[in-house]
C-alpha cells in the first residue's frame, strides 16, 4: 500500500491592508508605525498640502522619530520599503484597505463644552458609500461614550456591503513627544467590539494587526463599545485630576509657606499615589486633556449623570487659575507693574518635544503679559512658527539668549531639556535684571541663586 500523502498546511491568508483616515498627530504616526510593523498602508487626508508633504517624507508637525519612519517606508523615497503611500481619495482608500482606522480630530465645539463630532461623521459618511466588500472600520479618535454604536448604524446604512462592514473602537493613548514609541510599543491595547456576528472577526483582525506588540507582552483587552470609548476619557480625567490636585496643593503651600516640590516628593513615595504627574506648575494644555474633560462633563449631563463628574469643573478651574497665578507672580516680582517691562518667555509649545501650541499654558501666559503692557519675547526650539500664527503681536527670538537680552524677568514655561541646561551665568550677561520664574519647577534653584538670580516658582518659598 502507498503511504498517505502528507497533510498540507492551508495557504496563509494575506496580511490585511490598512488605511488611516486623517494624518494629524495621531493619524500620521499610526500610518507610519503600521508600515513599520510590516503592513501595506494608505494614509488619507482631505488636505492636499498635508498629503504632498507626507509623500515627500515630511511630517506635518514635529514628532520625534516620525520623519525617520516616513523616510524608511514612504513609496517613492530612496531606500524606502514603499509600504506607505498617501491619497485624498476615499474611493481609492476603500478599494485598497481591509482595515480602515479613523484618526480625525474631535475638537471642542465652539462656544460649548461638548465634542465636535463633525470630522468623524464626515469621515464615516465619505468612506461608507465606497465600501462594497467586507471591511473593518476602526475608530481611534476620542469620542463621547455612545458615539460608536450610533456610528455603527450610520455605517451599515450607508455602505453597499451593509452588515459585512463591522465597526470597532480602538482608543489611542499617545503622548505627544513619545507617539512613535507609544504606537509601536503600547502599554495596553483596548478594543471595543459590537454584539453582532462580526465581533469575532473584528477581534481576530485587530489581533493580527497588533500581533507584534501582543507578542512583546502588551495586554490586549477586549470590551464592549461603550467601555472602550470610556477608557480614554476616564484616563484623561484621572490624569487631569492628579495634575490639578498637586497644583491645588501648591496654592495651599503658597498660603501656608510650604514647599510643594518637597510635598510632592513625600507623597510620591506612597506607592498608592506614585510620583508621576505630581509636579506642580502652570498646568496642562494641548489638544487632548482640556477639551476631553469638558466633553466628558457635557456627555455626562446628556446621560443624566452630571453630578458624577461635577468635580471635573473644579479640576478645569484649578488648571486655568495656574496661568493667572503665573502672571500675578511675574507682576509681584517686578514690583507690582508689568507696564513697559521686558519679559523673556522660554517655551511656546504646551509640552517639550512637540511643536503643538493648542491651548498652550506658556503661550497663554505670554499673551496675558502682553495684554497687560509687557514687552514679551518668546523662544521655543520647535514651536516658533505655530506660535507666531496664533499670537503674531508677540516678539520672537532665535535663541534663549536672544529672548533674554535686556529682559527684566525670564519665565521658564515649557520644560525643554535645552532650558534645563542653560548656564545662568551666560544668561546673566544679557539681562537687565536677574529674575528667573520657573513655571515648571524643573530648574535647579541653587544653581541659579549661585549666579545671583532671584528664583521664584509657584508653590515654593521665595528664598
Q: Which residues are catalytic?
A: 288
Strand positions, DSSP E, 67-219: 84-87, 99-102, 135-139, 165-169, 189-193
Q: How far is the CA of 100 from the CAs of 33, 92, 124, 128, 218, in angstroms?
A: 15, 12, 10, 11, 22
Q: Which burial class, exposed, middle or buried, applies to 257 when counting CB atoms under 10 A from its CB (0-12, 13-18, 19+)?
A: exposed
Chain Cα centroid distance, residue 221 = 22
Q: How far apart are CA 358 and CA 377, in angstroms?
A: 19
Residues 6+ apart with CB under 8 A from 452: 428, 434
Residues 173 and 188: their CA atoms lie apart, in Å, by: 9
16 HSE (CA, 13 A, CB side): 24
Report how far Cα 431 is from the mean position of its chain's Cα atoms. Answer: 34
The helix (H) or strand (E) run that includes residue 31 is helix 25-36
Task: Tell me the helix, strand and coil percentages in the chain, rounded to 5.
Answer: 45, 15, 40
State how far Cα 78 lies from the chain centre.
Answer: 31
Query: CA 179 to CA 62: how far, in whole Å?
Result: 11
Residues 6+ apart with CB under 8 A from 245: none
The three-class DSSP label of residue 320 is helix
Amino acid at each position: 500500500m502507498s503511504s498517505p500523502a502528507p497533510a498540507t498546511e492551508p495557504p496563509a491568508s494575506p496580511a490585511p491592508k490598512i488605511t488611516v483616515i486623517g494624518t494629524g498627530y495621531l493619524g500620521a504616526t499610526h500610518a507610519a508605525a503600521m508600515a513599520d510593523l510590516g503592513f501595506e498602508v494608505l494614509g488619507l487626508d482631505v488636505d492636499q498640502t498635508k498629503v504632498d508633504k507626507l509623500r515627500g517624507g515630511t511630517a506635518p508637525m514635529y514628532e520625534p522619530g516620525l520623519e525617520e519612519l516616513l523616510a524608511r517606508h514612504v513609496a517613492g523615497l530612496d531606500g524606502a520599503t514603499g509600504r506607505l503611500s498617501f491619497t485624498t481619495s476615499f474611493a481609492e482608500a476603500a478599494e485598497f484597505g481591509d482595515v480602515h482606522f479613523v484618526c480625525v480630530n474631535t475638537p471642542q465645539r465652539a462656544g460649548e463644552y461638548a465634542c465636535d463630532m463633525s470630522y468623524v461623521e464626515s469621515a464615516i459618511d465619505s468612506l461608507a458609500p465606497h465600501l462594497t466588500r467586507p471591511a473593518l472600520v476602526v475608530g481611534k479618535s476620542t469620542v463621547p461614550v455612545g458615539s460608536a454604536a450610533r456610528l455603527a448604524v450610520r455605517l451599515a446604512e450607508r455602505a453597499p456591503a451593509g452588515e459585512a462592514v463591522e465597526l470597532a473602537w480602538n482608543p489611542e493613548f499617545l503622548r505627544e513627544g513619545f507617539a512613535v514609541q507609544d504606537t509601536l510599543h503600547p502599554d495596553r491595547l483596548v478594543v471595543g467590539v459590537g454584539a453582532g456576528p462580526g465581533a469575532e472577526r473584528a477581534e481576530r483582525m485587530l489581533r493580527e494587526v497588533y500581533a507584534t506588540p501582543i507578542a512583546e507582552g502588551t495586554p490586549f483587552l477586549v470590551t464592549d463599545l461603550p467601555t472602550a470609548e470610556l477608557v480614554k476619557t476616564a484616563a484623561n480625567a484621572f490624569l487631569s485630576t492628579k495634575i490639578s490636585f498637586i497644583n491645588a496643593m501648591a496654592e495651599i503651600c503658597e498660603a501656608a509657606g510650604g514647599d510643594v516640590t518637597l510635598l510632592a516628593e513625600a507623597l510620591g513615595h506612597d506607592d498608592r499615589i506614585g510620583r508621576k504627574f505630581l509636579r506642580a506648575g502652570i498646568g496642562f494644555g494641548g489638544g487632548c486633556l482640556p477639551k476631553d474633560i469638558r466633553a466628558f462633563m457635557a456627555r455626562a449631563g446628556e446621560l443624566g449623570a452630571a453630578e458624577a463628574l461635577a468635580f471635573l469643573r473644579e479640576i478645569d478651574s484649578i488648571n486655568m487659575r495656574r496661568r493667572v497665578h503665573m502672571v500675578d507672580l511675574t507682576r509681584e516680582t517686578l514690583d507690582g507693574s508689568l507696564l513697559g517691562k521686558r519679559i523673556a518667555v522660554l517655551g511656546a509649545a504646551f509640552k517639550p518635544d512637540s511643536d503643538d501650541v493648542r491651548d498652550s499654558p506658556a503661550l497663554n501666559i505670554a499673551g496675558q503679559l502682553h495684554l497687560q503692557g509687557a514687552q514679551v519675547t518668546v523662544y521655543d526650539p520647535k514651536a516658533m512658527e505655530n506660535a507666531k500664527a496664533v499670537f503674531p503681536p508677540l516678539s520672537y527670538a532665535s535663541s534663549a539668549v536672544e529672548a533674554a537680552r535686556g529682559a527684566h524677568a525670564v519665565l521658564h514655561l515649557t520644560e525643554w531639556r535645552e532650558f534645563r541646561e542653560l548656564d545662568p551665568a551666560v544668561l546673566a550677561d544679557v539681562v537687565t535684571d536677574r529674575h528667573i520664574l520657573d513655571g515648571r519647577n524643573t530648574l535647579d534653584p541653587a544653581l541659579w541663586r549661585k549666579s545671583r538670580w532671584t528664583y521664584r516658582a509657584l508653590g515654593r518659598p521665595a528664598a
